[in-house]
Amino acid sequence: MARINGFIGRRDFLKLAGTGSLAIAATTISGSLITNTSKTAIADVSPANPNPVNPNQALKLLLDGNQRFIQQKRQYPHQSLAHLQLLAKAQYPFAAILGCADSRVPTEIIFDQGLGDLFVVRVAGNVASDMAIGSLEYTTAVLGTQLIVVLGHKNCGAVAAAIKNEPLPGRIGYVVEGIKPALSNLNSTDAVIANIQYQANKLQQSSAILAQLVDTGKLKIVSAYYNIDTGKITVIT
């Protein structure tokens, strides 16, 4: 199996994916990856990351950006038209975020990052669903992203619904069911943190690809908490 910079090449990644969740993720991650042909194709993506960012440096970049956001000193990096055009050829996000879909937690804004910096997967309750895991496998194994941050937040409605444990309409219940295993006689703040840690652990436990990258030092998974009152992000240890 071909590897570049310690990561799986895109062709081998798709062979490894087979017909499982990775194959689904590879065709649905973004519009640029969707194909109408019978073969799964990844367009405009180079498997070789020329300047991989190690996990500790990536986390520092994120926390430094959050400090700029809090202090209202945002730099709005990588948001020019020239940078947009540069990214049309390839993307190399230095960090991946599994975050909540809550409109009060706009990922690039609160980390003061720009185009191509972050590979963001957002779903209510920051639940590590099969589709979310497949997306994160793609950015780590193919694009060379070495940091995943599981980001939950204060007053998460999905966690509150899981605590109430009441019937919910439509498919909202699927989100809540993904959170319930993390909860056990906890108040709302403790429940949010417990859910963040549960989803972070689930990533590694449910994905052989992510687990292997962690074991070989090519990936770090970090839990973090966002305070919607202050804008501050705190790493959970």
Q: Phi and psi (nearest 5°) for 114?
A: -130, -160
In the structure, what pLDDT confidence band is assigned to residue 19 with cuts at 50, 70 and 90?
Answer: very low
Q: Which two three-digit tokens encode residue 132?
A: 């979310």
Specify if 35 maps to a domain: no
Specify if 107 maps to a domain: yes
Each residue's pLDDT tens digit, 123-163 = 999 999 999 999 999 999 999 999 999 999 999 999 999 99
Hunting for tokens 């549960």 — which residue is that?
198
Specify if 71 maps to a domain: yes
Strand stretches in 25-117, DSSP E: 95-99
Q: Which two three-digit tokens encode residue 91?
A: 């993307």
The Cα–Cα gap between 218 and 212 comes to 8
Residue numbers of the domain that contains 148: 49-236
Quote the number of domains for the chain: 1
CATH of the domain at 133: 3.40.1050.10
Is pTM beyond 0.85? Reply is: no
Cβ atoms of residues 226 and 154 within 8 Å: yes
Specify if 208 maps to a domain: yes
Each residue's pLDDT tens digit, 56-107 = 999 999 999 999 999 999 999 999 999 999 899 899 999 999 999 999 999 9
Specify if 55 maps to a domain: yes
